[in-house]
Structures are given as C-alpha cells and as structure tokens.
C-alpha cells in the first residue's frame, strides 16, 4: 500500500461519516413532518452508532 492509497482510504472514510451525518439530519427533517416515520428511527440510529 502506498501513501496515496492511505490518503484515498482516509478521504473515503471522511466522506462516509459526512454522508451518515447528512442522512441523520434528513431523517430528523422527515420525522418533524411525518410522525409515522418516528417509530423505526431509534432502531436505525442505534445500529449506525455501533
């Protein structure tokens, strides 16, 4: 593995964590508008935290 490969891996990991944050914000946004979406959300958040 070269240094460039390590940098690529670090960048992709950062992108993934940012995407996860965006998804959580999006879920909160939807939950505020649709109460029936709130029920499955705790399961999703606990799975993604592990």
User: For 9-34, how does the pLDDT look when each residue is reduced to its tens digit (9 = 90+)?
Assistant: 666 666 666 667 777 787 777 666 65
Contacts of 44 (CB under 8 A, 6+ apart): 27
Q: What angle do CA 44, 8, 19 make, to 5 degrees?
A: 25
- The token pair that represents 38 in the structure block: 């709130």
pLDDT value at position 15? 63
pLDDT given for residue 36 in this prediction:
53
pLDDT score of 4: 64
Cα angle value 17/19/25 (rounded, 5°): 105
3-state per-residue secondary structure call for 1-50: CCHHHHHHHHHHHHHHHHHHHHHHHHHHHHHHHCHHHCCCHHHHHHHHHC
The answer on pLDDT for 8 being more than 60 is yes
């Amino acid at each position: 593995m070269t240094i460039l490969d390590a940098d690529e891996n670090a960048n992709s990991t950062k992108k993934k964590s940012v995407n996860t944050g965006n998804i959580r914000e999006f879920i909160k946004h939807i939950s505020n508008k649709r109460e029936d979406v709130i029920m499955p959300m705790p399961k999703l958040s606990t799975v993604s935290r592990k």
